[in-house]
Amino acid sequence: MNTLNVSIVTPNGEVYSTKDASMVVLGTTSGQLGIMANHVPMVASLAIGPLKVVFPDGKEERIAVSEGFVETHKNDITVIVQTAECADDIDVERAKRAKERAEKRLSERKSTLDVRRAELALARALARLKVTEK
């Protein structure tokens, strides 16, 4: 079985790497995308959300990613994002508090900038919470 080399990189360096994934599922700005071995080369912009790495034995690893880009070339997938957090590194209570703060700011709608910041904060909090779900 062909496998994928997956690398997730932030400005602070590589956050995640594996050489034996069978598939990666991620959200692009155009919709959900599943990438398997021998995928055509491409570049796509990513939306904030969960990224799932699936292994040949069926096990999965989930990572919360911010906006960024994904590039595929042969059997290599490189994800370039501002932030990425593996499920085990996420503080669930902190993510819940961030979600509540963002929802409160959205309900207040003070300015367009505040609304956009709150929408992004809410998306990040929801991605973190989704990644930690079992």
Q: What is the mean pLDDT of residues 63-92?
A: 92
Domains along the chain with CATH numbers: 4-86 (2.60.15.10), 92-132 (1.20.5.440)
The H or E element spanning position 47 is none
How many angstroms separate the CA atoms of 124 and 27, rounded? Answer: 13
Which tens digits make up the pLDDT trace of 78-134?
999 999 998 888 888 888 888 888 888 888 777 666 777 788 888 888 888 888 886
How far is CA 134 from its chain centroid? 16
Task: Say how many Å lie between the first and final Cα of the chain, rounded.
Answer: 27
> Mean pLDDT lowest for which of 33-37, 64-68, 104-108, 113-117?
113-117
